[in-house]
Amino acid sequence: MSQPVQSQAVPMTPDANATTADSSAAMPPLSPWPVKVRWFEFKHPVSALSKVWLGVAAWLVFLLGWHYAATSGDANPLFPSPLAVLDALWTLFAERGFASDVLASLKRILISFFLACSIAIPLGILMGAFPRVESAFGPLVSAFRYLPAPAFIPLLLMWLGTGDTQKIALLMLGVIWFLITLVCDNVKQTPVDFIETAKTLGGSRRKILWTVVVPASLPNIVITCRQMLAVSWTYLVIAEIVAATDGIGAMIMRARRFVNVDDIMAGILVIGILGLVCDLLFRGLYWLMFPYLRRR
């Protein structure tokens, strides 16, 4: 359509097709051949309702299986049923002040992750955008990525004491190197054509960084953050095993001493639920931030 599109109410159809289209409109609607839609189909879209339904179904199967396994034989205190775990969870919150443990853990995770992001995202963006910066920091960051964060616990204890600072530092060490590397890779995905287009439109390097490189890589950076926050949760128990008096991990370690398996499982359950909530929040954030990626 070389003519401006707005001048035509209806899209142009070639003349030959126009006549057949008219004659078929006069006939009754024709139902299509029955085509079998397979349950396992690549890239088949799933409705929102089926998504919920399928997700809940898998959970139910898991819980019922667990319940059956735990209650079928003799009652085993080392393998409580889901109901016993729920019961333990209730007692923890109602009678033993577990809420303050959860809050302590949540605070550590959020502060450490915020600090990790506020260093890793700017550094990752600079590394991904400018090869010289990457050459300088890349080898350093890669080396640190291979060092296991828990190995730093003794050092952190000596340097930072036994308080929150030490736990936050450990959680940071656990994710920051991966965050830097992944953000750098996200930024490197920016198409060269985008950058060159902005150059030929007269953009300075600073402006191109802010108006092309950052918006082009931001969706993937948010996904990276979502995934690394999940990793952060997996470090929580390690961070709270040593020299901790509060937090979900500390509760789990106390319960282990008294072989309260149901309390341990309740702690694990809470971590799982909080992780899931964080994930959903990030998905919501993604949906709000990137309206142009909503359905594709």
Partner 1 sequence: MSVAEQLDMSSLLVDRVGKTFSARRSSVVAVESVSFTVPPREVCILLGPSGCGKSTVLRMIAGLEIPTSGRITLSGRPVLGPARERGMVFQGYTSFPWLTVRQNVAYGLKLNGDFGALREGTVDHFLESVGLTRFANAWPHELSGGMRQRVALARALAATPELLLMDEPFGALDAETRWQMQELLLKVIRKERMTVVMVTHDVEEALLLGDQIVFLSSHPGRVRTIINPPFKTDSAIRTREDLRAHPRYAEMERDILQMMREEGKH
| Residues at the contact surface with partner 1, assessed by CB under 8 A | 1-6, 191, 193-194, 196-203, 207, 211-212, 215-216, 218, 290, 292-293, 296
Nearest approach in angstroms of CB 188 to partner 1 is 17
Pull the structure tokens for residue 30. Answer: 């024709």
Distance CA 124, CA 281 (A): 23
Instruction: Please identify, using beta-carbon distances, which residue of 138 and 219 lies nearer to partner 1.
Output: 219
Instruction: Please identify, using beta-carbon distances, which residue of 92 and 213 lies nearer to partner 1.
Output: 213
Pull the structure tokens for residue 130. Answer: 């400018």
Nearest approach in angstroms of CB 11 to partner 1 is 11
Cβ-Cβ contacts under 8 Å for 296 (sequence gap 6 or more): none
Whether 175 and 148 have beta carbons less than 8 Å apart is answered as no
Where do the DSSP E strands lie in the chain? none
Q: Nearest 5 degrees, angle CA 158-CA 176-CA 224?
A: 155
Instruction: Please identify, using beta-carbon distances, which residue of 2 and 23 lies nearer to partner 1.
Output: 2
Instruction: Please identify, using beta-carbon distances, which residue of 216 and 238 lies nearer to partner 1.
Output: 216
Nearest approach in angstroms of CB 296 to partner 1 is 6
Nearest approach in angstroms of CB 219 to partner 1 is 8
Instruction: Please identify, using beta-carbon distances, which residue of 68 and 287 lies nearer to partner 1.
Output: 287
Pull the structure tokens for residue 240. Answer: 């709270």
Nearest approach in angstroms of CB 184 to partner 1 is 20
Q: Nearest 5 degrees, angle CA 112-CA 265-CA 62?
A: 110
